Amino acid sequence: MGKLAINGGEKVRKTLFPAYEVIGKEEERAAIEVIRSGVLSKYLGCWEDDFYGGPQVRALEEEWAAYFGVKHAVAVNSATSALYCAAGAIGLNPGDEVIVSPYTMSASATAPLIYNAIPVFADIEKDFFCLNPDSIEERITEKTRAIIIVNIFGQPYDVDKVNKIARKHNLFIIEDNAQGPGAAYGKQLAGTLGDIGVFSLNYHKHIHCGEGGIAVTNNDELAERLRLIRNHAEAVVGDKGYKNLNNMIGFNLRMTEIEASIAREQLKKLENLVNVRIENVNYLRDKFEQLPCVIVPPIRSNCKHVFYMFPLIYNEAKTGISRERFVEAVRAELMPTKLREGEGVRVEYGYVKPLYLQPIYQERIAYGKGGYPLKESSVSYEKGTCPVCERMHFESLITHELMKPGMSKNDLDDVFFAFEKVYDNIDELK
Protein backbone atom coordinates (compact mmCIF):
# COMPACT_ATOMS: atom_id res chain seq x y z
CA MET A 1 0.00 0.00 0.00
CA GLY A 2 1.35 3.41 -1.03
CA LYS A 3 1.13 6.76 0.66
CA LEU A 4 -1.13 8.22 -2.01
CA ALA A 5 -4.86 7.79 -1.50
CA ILE A 6 -5.20 6.52 -5.07
CA ASN A 7 -2.96 3.62 -3.99
CA GLY A 8 -4.86 2.96 -0.76
CA GLY A 9 -3.12 5.54 1.46
CA GLU A 10 -4.85 8.00 3.74
CA LYS A 11 -6.60 10.97 2.15
CA VAL A 12 -5.41 14.53 2.84
CA ARG A 13 -9.06 15.53 3.31
CA LYS A 14 -11.67 13.41 5.05
CA THR A 15 -14.68 15.73 5.27
CA LEU A 16 -16.70 17.55 2.61
CA PHE A 17 -15.64 21.04 1.57
CA PRO A 18 -18.10 23.80 2.57
CA ALA A 19 -20.87 24.72 0.17
CA TYR A 20 -20.80 28.07 -1.59
CA GLU A 21 -23.78 29.56 0.24
CA VAL A 22 -24.75 33.08 -0.71
CA ILE A 23 -28.48 33.03 -0.12
CA GLY A 24 -29.44 34.36 3.31
CA LYS A 25 -32.12 36.12 5.31
CA GLU A 26 -32.06 39.15 3.02
CA GLU A 27 -33.03 37.09 -0.04
CA GLU A 28 -35.59 35.18 1.99
CA ARG A 29 -37.25 38.39 3.16
CA ALA A 30 -37.24 39.88 -0.33
CA ALA A 31 -38.78 36.80 -1.93
CA ILE A 32 -41.46 36.50 0.77
CA GLU A 33 -42.44 40.11 0.27
CA VAL A 34 -42.98 39.50 -3.42
CA ILE A 35 -44.99 36.35 -2.73
CA ARG A 36 -47.16 38.23 -0.23
CA SER A 37 -47.75 40.98 -2.78
CA GLY A 38 -49.37 38.38 -5.03
CA VAL A 39 -47.65 39.87 -8.10
CA LEU A 40 -45.08 37.26 -9.08
CA SER A 41 -44.58 38.77 -12.52
CA LYS A 42 -46.16 41.85 -14.04
CA TYR A 43 -45.17 41.67 -17.70
CA LEU A 44 -47.61 42.13 -20.54
CA GLY A 45 -46.61 41.03 -24.03
CA CYS A 46 -48.16 44.04 -25.72
CA TRP A 47 -47.51 47.78 -25.93
CA GLU A 48 -48.73 48.78 -22.45
CA ASP A 49 -46.85 50.24 -19.51
CA ASP A 50 -46.33 46.72 -18.16
CA PHE A 51 -44.46 45.76 -21.32
CA TYR A 52 -41.32 46.62 -19.32
CA GLY A 53 -42.19 44.38 -16.36
CA GLY A 54 -43.01 44.90 -12.69
CA PRO A 55 -41.42 46.94 -9.88
CA GLN A 56 -38.79 44.39 -8.86
CA VAL A 57 -37.56 43.83 -12.41
CA ARG A 58 -37.37 47.57 -13.04
CA ALA A 59 -35.62 48.27 -9.75
CA LEU A 60 -33.09 45.53 -10.44
CA GLU A 61 -32.39 46.99 -13.87
CA GLU A 62 -31.88 50.47 -12.43
CA GLU A 63 -29.59 49.24 -9.65
CA TRP A 64 -27.63 46.99 -12.00
CA ALA A 65 -27.07 49.81 -14.50
CA ALA A 66 -25.94 52.16 -11.71
CA TYR A 67 -23.59 49.58 -10.20
CA PHE A 68 -21.89 48.80 -13.50
CA GLY A 69 -21.91 52.41 -14.71
CA VAL A 70 -23.91 51.74 -17.84
CA LYS A 71 -27.00 53.38 -19.31
CA HIS A 72 -29.29 50.36 -19.73
CA ALA A 73 -29.68 46.99 -18.02
CA VAL A 74 -32.22 44.50 -19.37
CA ALA A 75 -33.13 41.58 -17.10
CA VAL A 76 -33.96 38.21 -18.65
CA ASN A 77 -34.27 34.63 -17.43
CA SER A 78 -30.69 33.51 -18.22
CA ALA A 79 -27.42 34.64 -19.74
CA THR A 80 -28.23 32.33 -22.63
CA SER A 81 -31.40 34.36 -23.21
CA ALA A 82 -29.39 37.57 -22.95
CA LEU A 83 -27.02 36.27 -25.64
CA TYR A 84 -30.00 35.42 -27.88
CA CYS A 85 -31.44 38.90 -27.37
CA ALA A 86 -28.05 40.43 -28.12
CA ALA A 87 -27.59 38.40 -31.31
CA GLY A 88 -31.00 39.57 -32.50
CA ALA A 89 -30.59 43.15 -31.34
CA ILE A 90 -27.45 43.77 -33.40
CA GLY A 91 -29.44 42.77 -36.49
CA LEU A 92 -27.68 39.58 -37.56
CA ASN A 93 -28.76 38.29 -40.95
CA PRO A 94 -28.85 34.64 -42.08
CA GLY A 95 -25.39 33.68 -43.32
CA ASP A 96 -23.57 36.45 -41.43
CA GLU A 97 -20.47 35.24 -39.61
CA VAL A 98 -19.82 35.83 -35.93
CA ILE A 99 -16.45 35.13 -34.38
CA VAL A 100 -16.80 33.12 -31.19
CA SER A 101 -14.64 31.32 -28.66
CA PRO A 102 -14.29 27.54 -28.62
CA TYR A 103 -13.52 27.54 -24.90
CA THR A 104 -16.66 28.66 -23.15
CA MET A 105 -20.16 27.58 -22.20
CA SER A 106 -21.89 26.38 -25.38
CA ALA A 107 -24.46 29.21 -25.61
CA SER A 108 -21.80 31.86 -26.24
CA ALA A 109 -21.14 30.11 -29.55
CA THR A 110 -24.64 28.97 -30.51
CA ALA A 111 -26.34 32.35 -30.00
CA PRO A 112 -25.74 33.47 -33.63
CA LEU A 113 -27.37 30.26 -34.88
CA ILE A 114 -30.70 31.36 -33.41
CA TYR A 115 -30.69 33.94 -36.23
CA ASN A 116 -29.17 31.53 -38.78
CA ALA A 117 -25.81 33.26 -38.59
CA ILE A 118 -22.64 31.18 -38.59
CA PRO A 119 -20.33 30.78 -35.57
CA VAL A 120 -16.68 31.03 -36.63
CA PHE A 121 -14.26 29.77 -33.99
CA ALA A 122 -11.06 31.71 -33.37
CA ASP A 123 -8.29 30.42 -31.13
CA ILE A 124 -7.61 31.43 -27.53
CA GLU A 125 -4.66 33.06 -25.80
CA LYS A 126 -2.28 30.56 -24.22
CA ASP A 127 -1.89 32.58 -21.01
CA PHE A 128 -5.34 34.13 -20.54
CA PHE A 129 -7.67 31.72 -22.45
CA CYS A 130 -9.77 34.55 -23.95
CA LEU A 131 -10.04 34.99 -27.73
CA ASN A 132 -6.66 35.78 -29.28
CA PRO A 133 -6.79 39.11 -31.18
CA ASP A 134 -4.49 37.81 -33.95
CA SER A 135 -6.66 34.78 -34.47
CA ILE A 136 -9.79 36.96 -34.53
CA GLU A 137 -8.26 39.07 -37.27
CA GLU A 138 -7.32 36.01 -39.31
CA ARG A 139 -10.93 34.79 -39.26
CA ILE A 140 -12.52 38.03 -40.46
CA THR A 141 -14.18 37.87 -43.90
CA GLU A 142 -16.57 40.20 -45.71
CA LYS A 143 -19.39 38.27 -44.00
CA THR A 144 -18.19 38.92 -40.45
CA ARG A 145 -20.61 41.09 -38.46
CA ALA A 146 -19.74 40.58 -34.79
CA ILE A 147 -17.48 39.08 -32.16
CA ILE A 148 -18.87 37.30 -29.11
CA ILE A 149 -16.00 37.52 -26.67
CA VAL A 150 -15.92 35.78 -23.30
CA ASN A 151 -14.20 36.94 -20.12
CA ILE A 152 -13.38 33.34 -19.43
CA PHE A 153 -12.78 32.21 -15.84
CA GLY A 154 -13.44 35.83 -14.76
CA GLN A 155 -10.67 37.69 -16.60
CA PRO A 156 -11.38 40.53 -19.07
CA TYR A 157 -10.46 40.08 -22.73
CA ASP A 158 -7.73 42.14 -24.45
CA VAL A 159 -9.90 45.23 -24.82
CA ASP A 160 -7.27 47.49 -26.42
CA LYS A 161 -6.59 45.13 -29.30
CA VAL A 162 -9.99 43.56 -29.82
CA ASN A 163 -11.96 46.81 -29.69
CA LYS A 164 -9.55 48.30 -32.22
CA ILE A 165 -10.10 45.35 -34.55
CA ALA A 166 -13.85 45.70 -34.14
CA ARG A 167 -13.77 49.41 -34.98
CA LYS A 168 -11.53 48.84 -37.99
CA HIS A 169 -13.86 46.19 -39.47
CA ASN A 170 -17.12 47.72 -38.22
CA LEU A 171 -18.04 44.75 -36.03
CA PHE A 172 -20.27 44.62 -32.96
CA ILE A 173 -18.81 43.22 -29.76
CA ILE A 174 -21.03 41.12 -27.53
CA GLU A 175 -19.18 40.61 -24.28
CA ASP A 176 -20.14 37.42 -22.44
CA ASN A 177 -19.33 38.37 -18.86
CA ALA A 178 -21.23 35.51 -17.20
CA GLN A 179 -18.05 34.53 -15.35
CA GLY A 180 -16.71 38.01 -14.62
CA PRO A 181 -19.09 40.20 -12.60
CA GLY A 182 -16.89 42.76 -10.83
CA ALA A 183 -13.87 42.12 -13.06
CA ALA A 184 -12.31 45.23 -14.57
CA TYR A 185 -10.09 46.39 -17.40
CA GLY A 186 -8.29 49.39 -16.01
CA LYS A 187 -11.06 51.30 -14.26
CA GLN A 188 -13.84 50.05 -16.51
CA LEU A 189 -15.97 47.18 -15.26
CA ALA A 190 -16.23 44.04 -17.35
CA GLY A 191 -19.57 43.70 -19.08
CA THR A 192 -19.37 47.32 -20.25
CA LEU A 193 -16.34 46.84 -22.50
CA GLY A 194 -18.19 46.02 -25.75
CA ASP A 195 -21.50 47.06 -27.36
CA ILE A 196 -23.64 44.69 -25.29
CA GLY A 197 -22.49 42.87 -22.15
CA VAL A 198 -24.12 39.77 -20.73
CA PHE A 199 -24.27 38.54 -17.12
CA SER A 200 -25.56 35.28 -15.64
CA LEU A 201 -27.44 34.82 -12.38
CA ASN A 202 -27.59 31.03 -12.49
CA TYR A 203 -26.86 28.93 -9.43
CA HIS A 204 -23.20 28.33 -10.32
CA LYS A 205 -22.16 31.94 -10.82
CA HIS A 206 -20.66 34.49 -8.38
CA ILE A 207 -24.14 35.70 -7.45
CA HIS A 208 -27.42 34.07 -8.40
CA CYS A 209 -31.19 34.09 -8.17
CA GLY A 210 -31.79 30.50 -9.34
CA GLU A 211 -31.89 31.30 -13.04
CA GLY A 212 -31.40 34.75 -14.47
CA GLY A 213 -29.41 36.94 -16.82
CA ILE A 214 -28.85 40.60 -17.58
CA ALA A 215 -27.81 42.37 -20.77
CA VAL A 216 -26.29 45.84 -20.49
CA THR A 217 -25.56 48.51 -23.08
CA ASN A 218 -24.98 52.24 -23.45
CA ASN A 219 -26.78 52.26 -26.80
CA ASP A 220 -30.46 53.33 -26.63
CA GLU A 221 -31.45 51.58 -29.85
CA LEU A 222 -29.81 48.29 -28.87
CA ALA A 223 -31.47 48.50 -25.44
CA GLU A 224 -34.89 48.93 -27.02
CA ARG A 225 -34.30 45.96 -29.32
CA LEU A 226 -33.14 43.79 -26.39
CA ARG A 227 -36.38 44.66 -24.56
CA LEU A 228 -38.50 43.92 -27.61
CA ILE A 229 -36.91 40.53 -28.26
CA ARG A 230 -37.26 39.65 -24.55
CA ASN A 231 -41.01 40.14 -24.65
CA HIS A 232 -42.95 39.20 -27.81
CA ALA A 233 -41.56 41.87 -30.14
CA GLU A 234 -43.80 40.76 -32.99
CA ALA A 235 -46.91 41.56 -30.93
CA VAL A 236 -45.56 44.93 -29.81
CA VAL A 237 -43.84 46.63 -32.74
CA GLY A 238 -47.09 47.57 -34.49
CA ASP A 239 -48.67 49.52 -31.64
CA LYS A 240 -45.30 50.86 -30.56
CA GLY A 241 -44.61 52.14 -34.03
CA TYR A 242 -41.22 50.45 -34.16
CA LYS A 243 -40.04 50.22 -37.76
CA ASN A 244 -36.88 48.08 -37.98
CA LEU A 245 -38.46 44.62 -38.19
CA ASN A 246 -35.25 42.61 -38.66
CA ASN A 247 -35.23 39.90 -35.94
CA MET A 248 -38.41 41.17 -34.34
CA ILE A 249 -39.89 37.74 -33.79
CA GLY A 250 -39.74 37.95 -30.01
CA PHE A 251 -39.57 35.38 -27.26
CA ASN A 252 -40.73 35.20 -23.69
CA LEU A 253 -37.41 35.50 -21.85
CA ARG A 254 -38.81 37.43 -18.89
CA MET A 255 -37.46 37.29 -15.35
CA THR A 256 -40.03 36.92 -12.57
CA GLU A 257 -40.47 39.40 -9.73
CA ILE A 258 -39.22 36.81 -7.21
CA GLU A 259 -35.96 36.28 -9.04
CA ALA A 260 -35.51 40.01 -9.51
CA SER A 261 -36.04 40.64 -5.79
CA ILE A 262 -33.41 38.01 -4.95
CA ALA A 263 -31.00 39.35 -7.57
CA ARG A 264 -31.27 42.85 -6.02
CA GLU A 265 -30.08 41.48 -2.67
CA GLN A 266 -27.35 39.47 -4.38
CA LEU A 267 -25.99 42.54 -6.14
CA LYS A 268 -25.37 44.13 -2.73
CA LYS A 269 -23.19 41.15 -1.80
CA LEU A 270 -21.18 41.01 -5.01
CA GLU A 271 -18.26 43.20 -4.04
CA ASN A 272 -17.56 41.32 -0.83
CA LEU A 273 -17.93 37.91 -2.49
CA VAL A 274 -15.50 38.93 -5.22
CA ASN A 275 -12.97 40.28 -2.73
CA VAL A 276 -12.98 37.11 -0.63
CA ARG A 277 -12.57 35.01 -3.76
CA ILE A 278 -9.55 37.07 -4.83
CA GLU A 279 -8.04 36.77 -1.33
CA ASN A 280 -8.45 33.00 -1.43
CA VAL A 281 -6.88 32.78 -4.87
CA ASN A 282 -3.93 34.93 -3.77
CA TYR A 283 -3.42 32.68 -0.77
CA LEU A 284 -3.35 29.59 -2.98
CA ARG A 285 -1.37 31.29 -5.74
CA ASP A 286 1.62 31.91 -3.43
CA LYS A 287 1.71 28.20 -2.62
CA PHE A 288 1.13 26.87 -6.13
CA GLU A 289 3.88 29.11 -7.47
CA GLN A 290 6.33 27.06 -5.39
CA LEU A 291 5.13 23.76 -6.84
CA PRO A 292 7.13 22.73 -9.95
CA CYS A 293 4.44 20.51 -11.51
CA VAL A 294 2.06 23.40 -12.24
CA ILE A 295 2.39 26.89 -13.65
CA VAL A 296 0.06 29.57 -12.35
CA PRO A 297 -1.05 31.59 -15.40
CA PRO A 298 -0.38 35.33 -15.28
CA ILE A 299 -3.12 37.93 -14.90
CA ARG A 300 -3.51 40.36 -17.79
CA SER A 301 -1.79 43.61 -16.91
CA ASN A 302 -4.00 46.36 -15.53
CA CYS A 303 -6.87 43.89 -15.04
CA LYS A 304 -8.97 42.71 -12.14
CA HIS A 305 -9.61 38.95 -12.46
CA VAL A 306 -12.53 37.65 -10.37
CA PHE A 307 -11.81 33.90 -10.67
CA TYR A 308 -14.96 32.05 -11.58
CA MET A 309 -12.44 29.24 -11.74
CA PHE A 310 -8.79 28.96 -10.82
CA PRO A 311 -6.85 27.68 -13.84
CA LEU A 312 -3.45 25.99 -13.60
CA ILE A 313 -1.15 24.78 -16.38
CA TYR A 314 0.15 21.27 -15.85
CA ASN A 315 3.88 20.81 -16.35
CA GLU A 316 4.26 17.21 -17.46
CA ALA A 317 8.00 17.66 -17.98
CA LYS A 318 8.38 17.85 -14.19
CA THR A 319 6.34 14.72 -13.40
CA GLY A 320 6.64 12.31 -16.31
CA ILE A 321 3.03 11.23 -15.90
CA SER A 322 -0.09 12.29 -17.77
CA ARG A 323 -2.24 15.15 -16.56
CA GLU A 324 -5.23 12.80 -16.30
CA ARG A 325 -3.42 10.44 -13.97
CA PHE A 326 -2.09 13.32 -11.89
CA VAL A 327 -5.55 14.86 -11.48
CA GLU A 328 -7.09 11.47 -10.62
CA ALA A 329 -4.50 11.15 -7.85
CA VAL A 330 -5.26 14.67 -6.56
CA ARG A 331 -8.99 13.93 -6.58
CA ALA A 332 -8.39 10.77 -4.57
CA GLU A 333 -6.80 12.91 -1.83
CA LEU A 334 -9.79 15.26 -1.60
CA MET A 335 -13.53 15.20 -0.98
CA PRO A 336 -16.56 16.62 -2.78
CA THR A 337 -18.20 19.93 -1.91
CA LYS A 338 -21.40 20.11 0.16
CA LEU A 339 -24.59 20.46 -1.90
CA ARG A 340 -22.66 19.27 -4.96
CA GLU A 341 -21.60 15.86 -3.66
CA GLY A 342 -22.82 14.12 -6.83
CA GLU A 343 -20.25 15.97 -8.93
CA GLY A 344 -17.29 14.44 -7.13
CA VAL A 345 -14.14 16.38 -6.30
CA ARG A 346 -14.25 19.74 -8.11
CA VAL A 347 -10.85 19.53 -9.80
CA GLU A 348 -10.99 19.01 -13.57
CA TYR A 349 -8.58 18.34 -16.39
CA GLY A 350 -9.41 20.92 -19.01
CA TYR A 351 -12.65 22.88 -18.99
CA VAL A 352 -15.11 22.10 -21.83
CA LYS A 353 -14.31 20.20 -25.00
CA PRO A 354 -13.52 22.74 -27.77
CA LEU A 355 -17.04 23.60 -28.87
CA TYR A 356 -16.56 22.99 -32.60
CA LEU A 357 -16.01 19.31 -31.75
CA GLN A 358 -19.63 19.07 -30.56
CA PRO A 359 -21.95 17.01 -32.80
CA ILE A 360 -23.94 19.97 -34.22
CA TYR A 361 -20.76 21.44 -35.70
CA GLN A 362 -19.22 18.11 -36.67
CA GLU A 363 -22.41 16.99 -38.43
CA ARG A 364 -23.14 20.58 -39.55
CA ILE A 365 -26.82 20.28 -38.72
CA ALA A 366 -28.64 23.06 -36.88
CA TYR A 367 -32.12 23.28 -38.46
CA GLY A 368 -34.08 20.80 -40.53
CA LYS A 369 -32.74 17.70 -42.20
CA GLY A 370 -30.74 19.69 -44.72
CA GLY A 371 -28.28 21.01 -42.18
CA TYR A 372 -29.27 24.66 -42.52
CA PRO A 373 -27.37 26.95 -42.16
CA LEU A 374 -24.10 25.16 -41.36
CA LYS A 375 -24.00 22.93 -44.47
CA GLU A 376 -24.16 26.05 -46.66
CA SER A 377 -21.10 27.53 -45.03
CA SER A 378 -17.50 26.58 -45.71
CA VAL A 379 -16.35 27.62 -42.22
CA SER A 380 -14.07 24.98 -40.68
CA TYR A 381 -15.04 22.94 -37.64
CA GLU A 382 -12.30 20.36 -38.21
CA LYS A 383 -10.10 19.12 -35.41
CA GLY A 384 -7.07 21.44 -35.47
CA THR A 385 -9.15 24.60 -36.06
CA CYS A 386 -7.95 26.09 -32.74
CA PRO A 387 -4.68 24.37 -31.79
CA VAL A 388 -4.02 26.35 -28.59
CA CYS A 389 -7.48 25.56 -27.29
CA GLU A 390 -7.02 21.88 -28.13
CA ARG A 391 -3.64 21.75 -26.42
CA MET A 392 -5.04 23.44 -23.31
CA HIS A 393 -8.03 21.17 -23.16
CA PHE A 394 -6.51 17.84 -24.07
CA GLU A 395 -3.06 18.26 -22.47
CA SER A 396 -2.33 21.21 -20.22
CA LEU A 397 -5.12 22.89 -18.35
CA ILE A 398 -6.31 22.01 -14.85
CA THR A 399 -9.29 23.97 -13.47
CA HIS A 400 -10.76 23.96 -10.02
CA GLU A 401 -13.31 25.83 -7.95
CA LEU A 402 -11.99 25.02 -4.50
CA MET A 403 -11.34 28.66 -3.63
CA LYS A 404 -14.85 30.06 -3.34
CA PRO A 405 -15.88 32.21 -0.36
CA GLY A 406 -16.73 29.90 2.52
CA MET A 407 -13.44 27.99 2.22
CA SER A 408 -11.31 28.53 5.35
CA LYS A 409 -7.52 28.76 5.31
CA ASN A 410 -7.48 25.13 6.46
CA ASP A 411 -9.72 24.12 3.58
CA LEU A 412 -7.46 25.95 1.12
CA ASP A 413 -4.40 24.31 2.69
CA ASP A 414 -5.92 20.88 2.10
CA VAL A 415 -6.39 21.70 -1.58
CA PHE A 416 -2.75 22.66 -1.89
CA PHE A 417 -1.50 19.74 0.24
CA ALA A 418 -3.27 17.32 -2.10
CA PHE A 419 -1.34 18.66 -5.11
CA GLU A 420 1.89 18.81 -3.14
CA LYS A 421 1.52 15.29 -1.76
CA VAL A 422 0.89 13.83 -5.21
CA TYR A 423 3.93 15.66 -6.57
CA ASP A 424 6.15 14.58 -3.64
CA ASN A 425 5.12 10.95 -4.18
CA ILE A 426 4.98 11.05 -7.97
CA ASP A 427 7.06 7.88 -8.33
CA GLU A 428 4.14 5.92 -6.90
CA LEU A 429 2.21 6.76 -10.08
CA LYS A 430 4.87 5.48 -12.47
Ligand X SMILES: *Cc1c(COP(=O)(O)O)cnc(C)c1O
Footprint on this chain of ligand X (rule: CB under 6 A): 78-80, 104-105, 107-108, 150, 176, 178-179, 200, 202, 213
Contact 70, 216 (CB under 8 A): yes
Q: How far is the CB of 263 from ligand X (least distance, A)?
A: 12
Question: What is the closest distance, in whole angstroms, from the C-beta atom of residue 236 to ligand X in the complex?
Answer: 24
Rounded to whole angstroms, how far apart are CA atoms 266 and 22?
8
Q: What does the chain come to in residues?
A: 430
Comparing CB distances to ligand X, the nearer of 167 and 204 is 204
Closest to ligand X by CB, 150 vs 386, is: 150
Helix (H, G, I), strand (E, B) or coil at 113: helix
d(CA 332, CA 6): 5
- Which CB sits closer to ligand X, 310 or 326? 310
Q: How far is the CB of 177 from ligand X (least distance, A)?
A: 8
Closer Cβ to ligand X, 179 or 396, answer by number? 179
Q: Of 76 and 90, which has the nearer Cβ to ligand X?
A: 76
Residue 386, Cβ density class (10 Å: 0-12 exposed, 13-18 middle, ≥19 buried): buried
Measured from the CB of residue 73, what is the shortest distance to ligand X in angstroms? 15
> Minimal distance in Å, beta carbon 101 to ligand X?
9
Task: Name the β-bridge partners of 98.
Answer: 119, 146
- The angle subtended at Cα 305 by Cα 204 and Cα 421, nearest 5°, is 75
Measured CA to CA, the distance from residue 174 to residue 411 in angstroms comes to 37
Rounded to whole angstroms, the Cα distance separating 89 from 109 reads: 16
Cβ closest to ligand X, residue 80 vs residue 261: 80
Alpha-helical segments (H) within 69-132: 79-89, 107-110
- What three-state secondary structure class fits 198? strand
Q: How far is the CB of 424 from ligand X (least distance, A)?
A: 34
